Chains A and B, each alone.
Chain A
């Protein structure tokens, strides 16, 4: 009897496109990266957060095959980065933190030159259109603004239609508008199903772009989770800050709804709360009732500083 195949089932496993196992980097006695491990899933946007000197860039460059690995291993798209470095370079795109492009070529020529390094031909104008630089096609790199240079960097990183795009501090030094533009660009890239790995020291950037974050400090990973979970688990809440010349007893403030902690520095008060709206409501009522003038009122969200401080016990910036 012939059995007709009526249907087939395909089983997809969530495959990690990058596996970092016990990765370390030593320069003589100095350890820049100390045995870190994590995985990046295909199609996700993974962020590495941390202060300068934490080891983020070194980690990234080891995964990209740019820096020699001292210990551990990295498997990228099924290839061992240390042993098949050349093959790895073909499937990734990078945007480096401190690097430049040649002078003397316009943007189209630059993209074509880089494409030739992958033995590919690309539609340079199309690529420039994607990053909104088509008007500058005939300009040279030195004529671009900071934001435009970063967008160009990303365009060049995409010449080989890579599976994974690495961005090292993509918005550092950019004005708010340029930052937003860049975020939009990254969202576009994500929408194509590409995997993105980025480093940053901006919390809002991590929140907006990343599915998961690894927090790095002093060569180690101190936390690895989604942004929300990180904030929740470390219990760092927003702070209501204000100034008033009238002294208010701290106990009174402690009783405002949601307030978990009160701190005072001369005329400045800092209220940590997990219900900012209720706290503010209560504060205004207090002010009105007792005729207290409240000045310089700010609602500060939990920043990386706070998360960091909570996780590591020291400041993000020295």
Chain B
């Protein structure tokens, strides 16, 4: 045990003194969160709408002013030619041409006044939304004018009383993603380098057993993983007002299991890479699909059915699901037991795979 303890301490020292690794581990979570937090997925979308309305009478002008007050519309009125040019360039969702006498005294249903909507083929979705909003507003205006009684009202009540935002959904995904990246790449690179440079060979010449060295490295990286998760949580909660509901102990448990899974994967990649150069190629091959299918940025449920089955079995999915359940829903041990089981199974599989593919010795080749 004394050997493993000394090795672990030395390993931690080596990691802490590696400026590059340190920067990557501490700064990248902040960077990622900064980007996602600031992109602000929750902010309502605004549509840029151009209005062409010349010589409008008083009522029509009032109508146009109302349009300008819509929070979802960003109205510009720079003259017909300018607006149509901007539309062509893709800077407008739609351009509305409103006749000067849209609303006039004695409007009668006979000949409806026409609002022409110019759209850009490349922005169909946005244009449709603008048209839809416009139609709604016109219907309402029509009803007001004919003074029809309001028969219905709609009240929106949010069931999600916790007031969760997309960022709350995202944070557990980012944590699990970050742990995966660090565990796989850090181990794979370092050990592929050790092998290439002959560091492992020198170690083999001593009575130290390989598992002692591996254990020291695993413990080091587990601690770093927990530390990284802590940074994510601290910054996420303090700077971006994320809500963490569940128990921190369970979060730590998930992070530990997740780290173990991906450390096993890291060692496997290291074993499969003949040279240090091939590490990113092999690692990315495995990690990249999981980035998108692992339930980090969007829910697995949003995927087509045939893909869902596959995605649900990925190690990252079990990890991010468990973490998300704990952080956003306050799930207890019982609630996440299937995800935890999935992680344990994956951890065992990957560790066994690692022992098969990775060895301290070079293959016996001439």
A interface list, Cβ under 8 A from B = 27-28, 30, 32, 64-68, 86, 89-90, 92, 94, 96, 98-105, 109, 112-114, 116-119
- A109/B10 contact (C-beta < 8 A), A104-B15, A116-B3 known: yes
Residue B6 is within 8 A (CB to CB) of chain A in the complex: yes
Is there an interface contact between A114 and B18, defined as CB atoms closer than 8 Å?
no
Residue B121 is within 8 A (CB to CB) of chain A in the complex: no
Is there an interface contact between A96 and B10, defined as CB atoms closer than 8 Å?
no
23 examples of A-B residue contacts, CB within 8 angstroms: A27-B366, A32-B366, A65-B205, A66-B201, A89-B206, A96-B198, A96-B202, A99-B198, A99-B199, A101-B202, A102-B10, A104-B13, A104-B15, A104-B18, A112-B6, A112-B10, A113-B6, A113-B7, A114-B206, A116-B6, A117-B206, A118-B206, A119-B3
A120 CB to nearest B CB, Å: 10
Given the complex, which residues of A lie within 8 Å of B205, measured CB to CB?
A: 64-66, 89, 92, 94, 96
Residue B364 is within 8 A (CB to CB) of chain A in the complex: yes
A123 CB to nearest B CB, Å: 16
**How many residues of chain B have a CB within 8 Å of chain A?**
24
A183 CB to nearest B CB, Å: 23
Known: A100-B197, A117-B7. 17 other contacts (CB 8 A): A30-B366, A65-B205, A66-B204, A68-B364, A86-B207, A96-B202, A96-B205, A98-B198, A99-B197, A101-B199, A102-B10, A103-B18, A104-B18, A109-B10, A112-B6, A114-B206, A116-B2
Q: What is the CA–CA distance of A223 and B321 in the complex, to the nearest angstrom?
A: 70
Q: What is the CA–CA distance of A39 and B249 in the complex, to the nearest angstrom?
A: 62
A308 CB to nearest B CB, Å: 23
Given the complex, which residues of A lie within 8 Å of B7, measured CB to CB?
A: 113, 116-117
Q: What is the CA–CA distance of A90 and B205 in the complex, to the nearest angstrom?
A: 9
Residue B17 is within 8 A (CB to CB) of chain A in the complex: yes
- A27/B17 contact (C-beta < 8 A), A96-B198, A98-B198, A116-B3 known: no
Given the complex, which residues of A lie within 8 Å of B204, measured CB to CB?
A: 66
Is there an interface contact between A90 and B199, defined as CB atoms closer than 8 Å?
no
Residue B208 is within 8 A (CB to CB) of chain A in the complex: yes
Given the complex, which residues of B lie within 8 Å of A64, measured CB to CB?
A: 205
Residue B234 is within 8 A (CB to CB) of chain A in the complex: no
Is there an interface contact between A100 and B2, defined as CB atoms closer than 8 Å?
no
Q: What is the CA–CA distance of A99 and B198 in the complex, to the nearest angstrom?
A: 4
Is there an interface contact between B202 and A99, defined as CB atoms closer than 8 Å?
yes
Residue B203 is within 8 A (CB to CB) of chain A in the complex: yes
Residue picked from A64, A68, A90, A116, most chain B C-beta under 10 Å: A116
Residue B156 is within 8 A (CB to CB) of chain A in the complex: no
Given the complex, which residues of A lie within 8 Å of B14, measured CB to CB?
A: 102-105
Is there an interface contact between B364 and A100, defined as CB atoms closer than 8 Å?
no
B64 CB to nearest A CB, Å: 68
Is there an interface contact between A117 and B208, defined as CB atoms closer than 8 Å?
yes
Is there an interface contact between A96 and B3, defined as CB atoms closer than 8 Å?
no
Is there an interface contact between B198 and A109, defined as CB atoms closer than 8 Å?
no
Q: What is the CA–CA distance of A65 and B201 in the complex, to the nearest angstrom?
A: 11
- Give me the 8 closest cross-chain CB pairs, A-B, nearest first: A99-B198, A104-B14, A116-B6, A117-B208, A117-B206, A27-B366, A100-B197, A99-B202
Q: What is the CA–CA distance of A118 and B198 in the complex, to the nearest angstrom?
A: 20
A252 CB to nearest B CB, Å: 53
Given the complex, which residues of A lie within 8 Å of B6, measured CB to CB?
A: 112-113, 116
Q: Which residue of A lies closest to B3 (CB)?
A: A116
Q: What is the CA–CA distance of A104 and B10 in the complex, to the nearest angstrom?
A: 9
Residue B108 is within 8 A (CB to CB) of chain A in the complex: no
Q: What is the CA–CA distance of A105 and B207 in the complex, to the nearest angstrom?
A: 21
B336 CB to nearest A CB, Å: 37
Given the complex, which residues of B lie within 8 Å of A112, measured CB to CB?
A: 6, 10
Q: Which residue of A lies closest to B208 (CB)?
A: A117
Q: What is the CA–CA distance of A111 and B365 in the complex, to the nearest angstrom?
A: 31
Given the complex, which residues of B lie within 8 Å of A105, measured CB to CB?
A: 10, 13-14
Q: What is the CA–CA distance of A96 and B202 in the complex, to the nearest angstrom?
A: 7
B366 CB to nearest A CB, Å: 4
Given the complex, which residues of B lie within 8 Å of A66, measured CB to CB?
A: 201, 204-205
Q: What is the CA–CA distance of A99 and B6 in the complex, to the nearest angstrom?
A: 22
Given the complex, which residues of B lie within 8 Å of A86, measured CB to CB?
A: 207
Q: Which residue of B lies closest to A100 (CB)?
A: B197
B267 CB to nearest A CB, Å: 18
User: Which of chain B's residues 188-230 have a Cβ closer than 8 Å to chain A?
Assistant: 197-199, 201-208
Is there an interface contact between B207 and A100, defined as CB atoms closer than 8 Å?
no
Given the complex, which residues of A lie within 8 Å of B198, measured CB to CB?
A: 96, 98-100
B95 CB to nearest A CB, Å: 62
- Which of B10, B207, B364 contacts A90, CB < 8 Å? B207
Q: What is the CA–CA distance of A117 and B3 in the complex, to the nearest angstrom?
A: 6
Given the complex, which residues of A lie within 8 Å of B15, measured CB to CB?
A: 104
Given the complex, which residues of A lie within 8 Å of B17, measured CB to CB?
A: 104
Given the complex, which residues of B lie within 8 Å of A92, measured CB to CB?
A: 205
Q: What is the CA–CA distance of A67 and B364 in the complex, to the nearest angstrom?
A: 8
Q: Which residue of A lies closest to B205 (CB)?
A: A94
Q: What is the CA–CA distance of A116 and B207 in the complex, to the nearest angstrom?
A: 10
Is there an interface contact between B207 and A118, defined as CB atoms closer than 8 Å?
yes
Given the complex, which residues of A lie within 8 Å of B207, measured CB to CB?
A: 86, 89-90, 117-119
Q: What is the CA–CA distance of A63 and B18 in the complex, to the nearest angstrom?
A: 36
Q: What is the CA–CA distance of A68 and B366 in the complex, to the nearest angstrom?
A: 13
- A109/B366 contact (C-beta < 8 A), A99-B197, A117-B207 known: no
Q: What is the CA–CA distance of A92 and B206 in the complex, to the nearest angstrom?
A: 9
A169 CB to nearest B CB, Å: 14
Q: What is the CA–CA distance of A190 and B201 in the complex, to the nearest angstrom?
A: 26
Q: Which residue of A lies closest to B366 (CB)?
A: A27
Given the complex, which residues of B lie within 8 Å of A65, measured CB to CB?
A: 205
Q: What is the CA–CA distance of A94 and B202 in the complex, to the nearest angstrom?
A: 8
Residue picked from A86, A92, A100, most chain B C-beta under 10 Å: A100
